[in-house]
Chains A and B, each alone.
Chain A
Amino acid sequence: MTLGPIVRIAPNELSFSSPYAAREVLAAGKGFHKTDFYSVFPPAENPDIFTETNEHAHGLKKRYSSNAYSMASMQSLSGYIEDTQRLLMSKLDLKCQSREHICDLGDFLHFFAFDVLGEIAFSRKFGFLESGYDIENAIKTIDDVQWYDGIIGQIPEWDFVFRRNPLAKFMPSMDPSKTLITRMALEELDKRKKFGEKVIDRKDLLSQLMAANEKAPETFKEGDVFAIAHGAM
């Protein structure tokens, strides 16, 4: 079926297929603000750069963290990314030598991407490549949450019926606080708060966000540090 260039997909929502229209809508400074779609993405109590819908607050968070995301910062971490590449190649070599095993390249690319992100954000791998599987179903959990957020984001009020329902804490699968990635993020944050920046010898995402927080604790709060570093995953 072929539809026209503008499709009404909800009572008050139009979908545009033209890339020109997209540029008009997404252009900076045109006043098109984010919708409440983003409200379902965790953490609700402290939005990160992606989920912040208040333009002013978004601008502040972005300003204080932009340095951490710069090309120069990425370049400075390239040794650790290469290290992860080496691990990927050695694991693939090993997997492909044995005829009994099926090696799913897609899975390993996923493990690689997460371990690279771990290095960039927290200076440690999550261990997916090393173990060769999705530890504690951490990646699958993220996929499931994305699936849920994508649908419920269209009708954000329903989030209070499902996930934000006070009864949800009795359902372990609905509790987002215990995933491997969240635990590791909290661990790193605690460790550095306790022992100072010195425990880390490089400028990863977390250390740069913590430095920004130290400089302007009133505007760029500690909650922002965790939310943004965690949100990066």
Chain B
Amino acid sequence: MQSFCHHVLRDPAIHAHLKAELDHATASGHLSDFPQWTETQALPYFQACLKEAMRLRPAVGLNITRLVPPQGAEIAARRLPGGTRVAVNAWVLHRDEGIFGAQPKSYRPERWLEGDAKGMERYMFQFGGGSHICEFVNAGWKERGSSY
């Protein structure tokens, strides 16, 4: 939420764009005083701003570390022996130009509207991933989706 407010408020063009979307939805009766989850799903620019906020400033800045299984494994075309600690960090992963497009360090909600959003979402790790994915993912999305 802090990341969202910070980035949207510091850039007048982004702020204006978002405000126009919200005003339009309100005027046409698609957005209640207390925006509902389903209503906010239908606001593409707002959703793009949220995702971009979580891409650039994922809440967990620490490495997520796992152990290579005893039999060893191949990661990124390299053979690693069992017991090796392998670390990934969402702040690094989310700045991959190959996946998130040009200027990966800039707050640019448009990338979610222009690019392959589904493909980008596959590589968002703000809630971890796999069987250890954060249980609060629903709460997080819901809270964020309805709080602004």
Contacts and interface: CB of A to CB of B under 8 A. Distances in A.
Interface of A: 5-6, 9-10, 12-35, 37, 49-50, 55, 58-59, 62, 65-66, 69-71, 73-75, 78, 81-82, 85, 105-106, 109-110, 112-113, 116, 120, 150, 153, 232
Interface in B30-64: 34, 36-37, 61-64
A31 B69 contact: yes
Given A23-B129, A75-B142, A35 B135 contact: no
Interface of B: 1-2, 5-6, 34, 36-37, 61-69, 71, 73, 75-76, 78, 80, 83-89, 92-94, 96, 99, 122-123, 125, 128-132, 134-136, 138-139, 142-143, 146-147
Q: State the majority secondary structure of interface residues on B.
A: mixed
Contact of B84 (A14, A55, A81): A14
A39 B93 CA distance: 25
Nearest to B61: A150
Contacts of B143: 81, 113, 116
B75 A16 contact: yes
Nearest to A18: B76
A155 to B, nearest CB: 12
Given A27-B130, A105-B5, A37 B125 contact: no
A166 B6 CA distance: 43
B37 A19 contact: no
A150 B80 CA distance: 25
Contacts of B80: 14
Given A74-B138, A81-B142, 15 more contacts: A5-B76, A12-B85, A14-B87, A15-B63, A15-B92, A21-B76, A22-B88, A25-B86, A30-B69, A30-B130, A32-B68, A32-B69, A33-B66, A74-B142, A75-B142
Contacts of B89: 15
Contact of B67 (A33, A81, A106, A112): A33
A227 to B, nearest CB: 13
B69 A65 contact: no
A157 B135 CA distance: 28
Nearest to B134: A50
Contacts of A26: 64, 66, 88, 125, 128-130, 132
A35 B138 contact: no
Given A13-B86, A32-B66, A116-B143, A19 B125 contact: yes
A17 B131 contact: no
